[in-house]
Amino acid sequence: MKEAASLVGLPRDGYELWLDYRPVQSAERLGAYRASLQSIAVPGDFSTLAVARAELQRGLSGLLDGPVEISQDQLQGPGLLAGTPQTSSQIAALGWDEQIAAQGPEGYLIRSAMMGGKPAVVIAAGSEMGVLYGSFHLLRLLQTQQPLAGLDIAERPKIQLRLLDHWDNLNRSVERGYAGKSLWKWEELPDTLDPRYHDYARACASIGINGAVLNNVNANPLILRSDYLEKVVALANVLRLYGIRVHLSANFASPLRPSDTPGRFRRVNGIGNLDTADPLDPDVRQWWKEKADEIYHHIPDFGGFLVKANSEGMPGPFDYGRTHLDGANMLARALAPHGGIVMWRAFVYDPHVDPDRTKRAYKEFVPLDGEFEPNVFVQVKNGPLDFQPREPFHPLFGAMPKTPLMMEFQVTQEYLGQGIHLVYLAPMWKEVLDADTFAQGEGSTVAQVIDGSLHGYPMTGVAGVANIGSDRNWCGHHFAQANWYAFGRLAWNHTLSPEQIAEEWIRATFTNDDGTVATIRDMMMGSWEACVNTMMPLCLHHIMREGHHYGPDLEYNAGREDWNPQYYHRADAAGLGYDRSSSGSNAVAQYFPPLCDEFDDLTTCPEKYLLWFHHVPWDYEMRSGRTLWDELVWRYAHGVAAVSRMLETWTGLKSCVDSQRYEEVLKKLSTQVSDAAEWPQVCLSYFQKFSRRPIPAGISDGAFQQHDESR
């Protein structure tokens, strides 16, 4: 279906995200939609139903290109009816109660049905949130120009808690944020509510996100002080309308007295009146109990605490000779009477535990399995190091059958080109979700661990470190919006394909022109592999400039061995890569058989993880027939060429997308091309000092690639 050319030039600044309800361009579809949706009824008084009504009003009047009335009474005539059996007697009369109940508290049905002899589209759910989610789904059908005839959709989320973790500081800076300041205007809360809070919540609800951690895991204790809690209450009151529960990062030292010299990580700084934050101290326990009571008094649906403890300088139970269990369980007991949870992060890498940083979290946490309170999640990053362009999945997945593990993905692109590079992350997350842990034999995927189906976890969750800020287009880069979108969609249903998600997003955000959709989708689908190849091919890792993490650097001394790139790439005259095989650090042993053996053996280790698990001789023959050195060269060149092609592709779309976003993306892609070229230059000339092999000409401008493609 061709979009009318007239739309293309219209200014669009990205604020509307994928909720850009521009008129349906296919005249045929538009006619069919108007005929099916002649009247619309969403009966009921509840606040979230009012939100659903407002969204349908806004969406349908945009998509159908004309005013839309939404009645709160019975549906008359052919049209749309949305509600629960309690809010609509017409829905109650359909006799769908069993199917509705089967969709759970957040699910819904969308079906074509006859109502009073007239055709209707019915959104039926067991709760008002289900009605809102169903309404967004219906709008998506129109945005992506799907037919409305014969609908029989049944949806329920596969994972219960679908959270965005904001690494937002109280001074409105954002750790690893590349899209302006924090959305939360603490200085003017609680009295002034920025209208963006509603738009943020709409966008989250439209993709099924149902929780937000408002502040950075490097938590300032002030967030729990009563005056800040009032501000949190104001935000919670907005987000609740959209089914989003507020959570907070808690600083473990909060019960301490304020310090005159708090320092960056405030190990000794609190908001309380105690001399200790020892989790076994009765006063400390009482302090947290009272704090939880205070929070729940104002926010009855408060989600709970996210805690980064004894990691990167943050305070924690170890400061008092206690354990993760003592710390997490103490907080869990304070929250449990109110139904709150603790998300205790497994991002710990104390050098005393093991010389190989990637082994440490597993060694600390596996022995604790089964000992946590039932309302504790252990929150685990997707890989064992730290959100690198590619990592094998974290071996904790599958290794803690008695402890609900919550996945932590990073939506913000700390190590993947930040606010500059176009990198669509769904394929990376999907690789992790689909990875087989073999924990209970073949077919025990990471997705089955976190959705609870493998171990029967009583609660399930997934978190994404947000990429959202105060920039007009929310994410800094227009295409970074796709990562926010994809995170939500995968959190709801991890069986969706990255292609399908990309396609939905493009249609809702840019255009329904099939050719343009396919071109943009293919560009997005190749972008992660291009990033991996330009930056850290073959699973090289932790090669980046110190501190800000943008651009290549292979040799600095960060003052801590496990922050230095040399510790990871281990380039020497013999070869390249970290030997984590059984003859090296034996990190492979943290995986279940047969995976541990597959990773252990150089000849069976998937090449995409090669330099993660092996120190490989420069002349080692790869599956391509090339030597390791030549393969490395080839991959870098391949990556740079792929990025150049993305720029060419985008240039070719000039007449197919609106001009503002076209120009803004073009500018970023141009920077991406030149920055991508720096990686092979810097990395290969460094590695060459050890390999003593030639670097072919044209690596950084694609010339080598074109030549080599013929091989």
Q: Which residues bind ligand GCW (CB under 6 A)?
A: 167, 175-176, 217-218, 308, 312, 347, 386-387, 414
Q: How far apart are CB 330 and ligand GCW at their closest, in Å?
A: 21
Complex with ligand GCW: residue 33 or 347, whichever CB lies closer: 347
Which single residue is written with the structure tokens 């939880």? 292
**3-state secondary structure (DSSP) of residue 157:** coil
Complex with ligand GCW: residue 167 or 228, whichever CB lies closer: 167
Output the CA torsion sign for 611, 617, 619, 625: negative
Distances (CA, A) of 449 to 183, 395, 398, 658: 33, 12, 6, 42
Q: How far apart are CB 535 and ligand GCW at their closest, in Å?
A: 15
Residue 295's region, left for phi above 0, alpha for psi from -120 to 50, else beta, is alpha
Known catalytic residue: 312? yes
Distance between CA atoms of 601 and 588, rounded to whole angstroms? 10
Complex with ligand GCW: residue 18 or 167, whichever CB lies closer: 167
Which single residue is written with the structure tokens 């609800």? 205
Q: How far apart are CB 464 and ligand GCW at their closest, in Å?
A: 13
Complex with ligand GCW: residue 75 or 348, whichever CB lies closer: 348
Distance between CA atoms of 525 and 505, rounded to whole angstroms? 13
Q: What is the DSSP letter of 339?
A: T
**Which residues have a Cβ under 8 Å from the Cβ of 56 and sit 6 or more positions away?**
40, 42, 68, 70, 80, 82, 135, 138, 139
Q: How far apart are CB 387 and ligand GCW at their closest, in Å?
A: 6
Complex with ligand GCW: residue 148 or 306, whichever CB lies closer: 306
Residue type, 492: W
Distance between CA atoms of 131 and 50, rounded to whole angstroms? 10
Complex with ligand GCW: residue 408 or 513, whichever CB lies closer: 408
The active-site residue, picked from 386, 436, 514, 597, is: 386
Listed in order, strand segments (DSSP E) in 370-447 are 376-381, 405-410
Distance between CA atoms of 359 and 612, rounded to whole angstroms? 12
Known catalytic residue: 371? no
Q: How far apart are CB 238 and ligand GCW at their closest, in Å?
A: 25
Angle 41-43-45 from CA coordinates, rounded to 5°: 145
Q: How far apart are CB 312 and ligand GCW at their closest, in Å?
A: 6
Q: How far apart are CB 421 and ligand GCW at their closest, in Å?
A: 17
Known catalytic residue: 619? no
Q: How far apart are CB 561 and ligand GCW at their closest, in Å?
A: 17
Strand 405-410 relative to strand 376-381: parallel, antiparallel, unpaired?
A: parallel
Q: How far apart are CB 311 and ligand GCW at their closest, in Å?
A: 6
Complex with ligand GCW: residue 290 or 312, whichever CB lies closer: 312
The active-site residue, picked from 73, 293, 294, 312, is: 312
3-state secondary structure 443-471: CCEHHHHHCCCCCCCCCCEEEEECCCCCC
Q: What is the DSSP letter of 694?
A: P
Complex with ligand GCW: residue 387 or 629, whichever CB lies closer: 387
Query: How large is the C-alpha radius of gyration of the chain?
Result: 26
What six digits make up the tokens of 391?
Answer: 């990592």
Complex with ligand GCW: residue 408 or 579, whichever CB lies closer: 408
**3-state secondary structure (DSSP) of residue 66:** coil
* Position closest to ligand GCW via CB: 386
Distance between CA atoms of 446 and 407, rounded to whole angstroms? 9
Distance between CA atoms of 238 and 298, rounded to whole angstroms? 14
8 A C-beta contact, residue 124 and residue 151: no
The active-site residue, picked from 165, 319, 414, 658, is: 414
8 A C-beta contact, residue 633 and residue 700: no
Q: So which residues are the catalytic ones?
A: 312, 386, 414
